[in-house]
Structure 1
Amino acid sequence: MSEYSSLLSDLSEIITAEDLDQLKSACKEDIPDEQSNAITCSNDWFSYLEKNHKLAQDKLAYIEHIFEISRRPDLLTRVIEYRTTVLKLSEDDEIDSKLTRIPSAKKYKDIIRQPSEDDIIKLAPPPKKA
């Protein structure tokens, strides 16, 4: 199984029926109603996106955007990890190569990693009351 197939399989296991409805709703402008009704599982959704050139092994910006507007940082983070580890693409590489839009997903990376001591802002104690 390729890394890409493994990514889609992992995402499919996480996406529930309710999630799928939300994801389909988020991309309703790109999926006609009659097609949307035929999509009953996440594998159908991924297949539709691939057939319509919205998703490919090296074309992930569309689902990153959908996961972001659907407020699913867990799914978004998995896609970002795939992009940075398997494809070896960072946000800077994407800007340079024009492969995808500039993802705003970078903000979600900080949710997962714990801040270092340098990242933590230390506040002075409050003034003592007289």
Structure 2
Amino acid sequence: MCVPSFAQAMSEYGDLLSDLSDNITKEDLDQLKSACKEDIPEDQSNAITSSSEWFSYLEKNDKLAQDNLSYIEHIFEISRRPDLLTRVIEYRTTVLKITEDDDIDTKLTRIPSAKKYKDVIRQPSEDEIIKLAPPPKKA
């Protein structure tokens, strides 16, 4: 298996950001900025007028890097943009060769909601089921 060179990986990362930018409208950008309002002060958020500026801000503030995509994955997930999220996950698995099963505890991966709650979404045991008494009979 061939490991991509640093220059090639940076090029792929640039292509990813470019592809994402092409699919983010002005309305999308407002929604994405709103989703990260806790991390971007309002005055700086107002100064961001394009998706490339948004990505640049996130990189400068250590929220985004070639090998750290979890923040934007989270933002795309809570902003209900599965199309963008899918592109990021595809990049992570094909370019960085990292899957959720490989490296679950690193900054490179995130756990999708369904996986996060897999222990919660289970069938209760017989002991945990509350049995209701039959309804009273009418006189």
Q: How far has the Cα of 1:95 moved from its partner?
A: 1.0
Question: Mind listing any 5+ residue stretches in structure 1 that lack a counterpart?
Answer: 108-130
Q: How far has the Cα of 1:92 moved from its partner?
A: 1.5
**Matches of 1:5 and 1:100 in 2, distance apart?**
17
SS in 2 for 1:71: coil
Aligned ranges 1:99-110 → 2 under 5 Å:
99-100=107-108, 102-104=110-112
Look up the match of 1:26.
35
Q: How far has the Cα of 1:105 moved from its partner?
A: 6.5
Q: How far has the Cα of 1:94 moved from its partner?
A: 2.8
Alpha carbons of structure 1 residues 49 and 77: separation in structure 2 relative to 1, 3 Å:
same
Question: Partner letter of residue 103 of structure 1?
Answer: I
Alpha carbons of structure 1 residues 106 and 89: separation in structure 2 relative to 1, 3 Å:
farther
Aligned ranges 1:36-55 → 2 under 5 Å:
36-55=45-64
Look up the match of 1:15.
24
TM-score normalised per structure 1:
0.77
Question: Partner letter of residue 104 of structure 2?
Answer: I
SS in 2 for 1:2: helix
**Matches of 1:106 and 1:77 in 2, distance apart?**
15
Aligned partners of 2:32 and 2:76 also within 8 Å: yes
Look up the match of 1:81.
90
Q: Is 1:63 aligned with 2:72?
A: yes
Q: Map Cα deviations across residues 87-125 of structure 1 (whole Å, 9 max, x no partner).
A: 0000022315x2245321778xxxxxxxxxxxxxxxxxx
Aligned length: 106
TM-score normalised per structure 2:
0.72
**Matches of 1:16 and 1:84 in 2, distance apart?**
26
Q: Map Cα deviations across residues 52-107 of structure 1 (whole Å, 9 max, x no partner).
A: 000000000000000000000000000000000000000022315x2245321778
Could you say what the CA RMSD is over the residues aligned between the two structures, in angstroms? Answer: 1.7
**Matches of 1:105 and 1:57 in 2, distance apart?**
23
Identical aligned pairs, as a percentage? 76
Q: Which has the higher helix share?
A: 1
Question: Partner letter of residue 37 of structure 1?
Answer: N
Question: Mind listing any 5+ residue stretches in structure 2 that lack a counterpart?
Answer: 1-9, 116-139
